[in-house]
Amino acid sequence: MRTMTALSLGLALLASPALAQSITVKGPAGTVTLDAAALAALPRQTVTLDAHGTKHDYSGPLLMDVLAKAGAPTGKALRGPELANVVLVTAADGYQVVFGLAEADPNTRANRMILADRDETGPLDAKTGPLRLVVEGDLRPARSARQVIQLEVLLIGRPPPAAASAEHKH
């Protein structure tokens, strides 16, 4: 009886790829792992991506809402030195893309970035998902990484060369 229940649950999970996904998000507040339920709790957007003439309507939370779970600054907090934050996106096949955090901020740019878990046909297949970054407005789909497993917010700002050398003057 117990075996049957575990088996049924296992089969149910296998049949719903969206339930098996999780993503690691690293940011100023630390590292969080978000599962499908955590992603499903966020407001959703739909963005159409044209990859080599094939269009899909991808849907999922705004990337900024996902990054905020790890403490990424947004809106008015995304100012001054915080504008030197970048986001490193890593996929299961080792593919990586990077962009400025402000590019993902809906308070800064109209073009959206979403972490899609579905297209118009349902949960994303293994080649594309379970999670795909979809970058609205890009002329090429190269930054729309498939099979995203990790997001990392990195503050890469440093003092400009003049200020750095001034520190060493005696």
Peptide bond into 130 cis (omega under 30): yes
Residue from the set 3, 5, 43, 52 that interacts with ligand MTE by CB under 6 A? 52
Report if residue 142 touches Mo ion, rule: CB under 5 A: yes
Spatial contact of 118 and 18, defined as CB atoms under 8 Å apart: yes
51 touches ligand MTE (CB under 6 A): yes
Select 35 or 125, whichever has its Cβ closest to ligand MTE.
Answer: 125
| Residue 87 in tokens | 């986001």
Residue 145 binds which of ligand MTE, Mo ion, none (CB < 5-8 A, kind-dependent): ligand MTE
Tell me which of 89, 145, 151, 153 binds ligand MTE, using CB under 6 A. Answer: 145
Q: What are phi and psi of 84, to 5 degrees?
A: -95, 20
R_g over Cα of the chain:
19
| Pairing assessment for the beta strands 22-27 and 148-155 based on DSSP bridges | parallel
| CB 141, min distance to Mo ion, A | 6
Question: Is the separation of the CB atoms in 113 and 135 below 8 Å?
Answer: yes
52 binds, options ligand MTE, Mo ion, none, Cβ within 5 to 8 A by partner type: ligand MTE
Asked if residue 32 binds ligand MTE (CB under 6 A), the reply is no
Q: Which positions touch Mo ion (CB under 5 A)?
A: 142
